[in-house]
Structure 1
């Protein structure tokens, strides 16, 4: 929500986060969901991306209990074996589900990205 209210939104990552497309990298895409319907959303998210062979998992702490966000919600991590064809459409479909609070797609939001790598920093601006 803060990023939507900001004049500038700068993303800072290391170079291991760079991928050619969404999915297939082994990295998770987080979806924040209200606790009340997390199971419902986990199943719906997995079914929504059946073609992309999505595996949806509730994020757990080291003690095996659900990870709780600052807003007292849970995180469902999505692992895609096949890349998502249309990130914008996927984001809209996920956001439309009841109980979804936020997702880890920052489509058309970043004004700049700072990438840390072994050779130094790279800045990409919109």
Structure 2
């Protein structure tokens, strides 16, 4: 369930601006999605010009793209830390709390974001909101699906199993798990909901990113807006 909205130029401006924040010798978390892909391509061009960086991918797609454009790829096991993570968002609010997981990679994305010294979100204006309201993806253990669905309903959520678009059956993550997209309506307390979802047995990771992002680079028709939490 990838998000739509915004133009390619807006996404490109956001991704390229974030890539400019990478310094020589950095270890960079490489996010997943169309806007993060622009940042990875920009890093590839910078590497061609002599920049020395190591990228830690959050998904198969970001790993493949990084290798394709010449960014040296590492892993969390092989690096001492991450200087900067660059990643997209399905939606983010004025406090930079975000919903992620449209690409079903939010479990690895959250680990990389938590390890990083800084997390920069890259997005187009359609992803900005006063209050989070998109469905929250949950990566769950396959056998736990019925129990997790009951717990989500108890939290006043409506869970839906994410189905694959070009194959029969559900979406399966890079980790071999399933995705539930859970509607909660307007989320006035992202931290509280995040805590509740984290306590549900069978949930590997939820898509609420709270108190992780340091800035959001929002591509516009004219340039890039750099936003911080209110």
Q: Could you state the TM-score of these two structures normalised by the residue count of structure 1?
A: 0.83
Please identify which structure carries the higher helix content: 2
Structure 1 runs not aligned, ≥5 long: none
The equivalent position to 2:211 in structure 1, one of 102, 108, 118, is: 108
Shift of 1:109: 0.4
CA distance in 1, matches of 2:179, 2:129: 22
Please name the residue that 2:130 is paired with: 20
Q: Which has the larger radius of gyration?
A: 2
Task: Report the RMSD for the aligned CA atoms in angstroms.
Answer: 1.7
State how 1:18-97 maps to structure 2 within 5 Å.
Answer: 18-23=128-133, 27-49=134-156, 54-62=157-165, 63-81=167-185, 83-97=186-200
Q: Report the count of equivalent residues.
A: 118
Query: What whole-Å deviation, never above 9, does each CA across 1:64-100 have from its counterpart, x for those lacking one?
Result: 411111111111111233x223111110000001111
Q: Aligned to 2:209, what secondary structure does the other structure show?
A: coil
Higher strand share: 1
Distance 2:228 2:151 in 1: 35
Mapped to 2, the partners of 1:64 and 1:19 lie a distance apart of: 34
Task: Assess if the C-alpha contact under 8 Å between 1:32 and 1:103 holds in 2.
Answer: yes
CA distance in 2, matches of 1:43, 1:120: 45
Instruction: Give, in whole Å, the separation in 2 of the partners of 1:28 and 1:114.
Output: 22
More contact order relative to length (CA 8 Å, sep ≥ 6): 1
TM-score with structure 2 setting the length: 0.48
Q: Quick one: structure 1 residues 116 and 42, their matched pair in 2 at CA, closer, same or farther if it must change by over 3 Å? A: farther
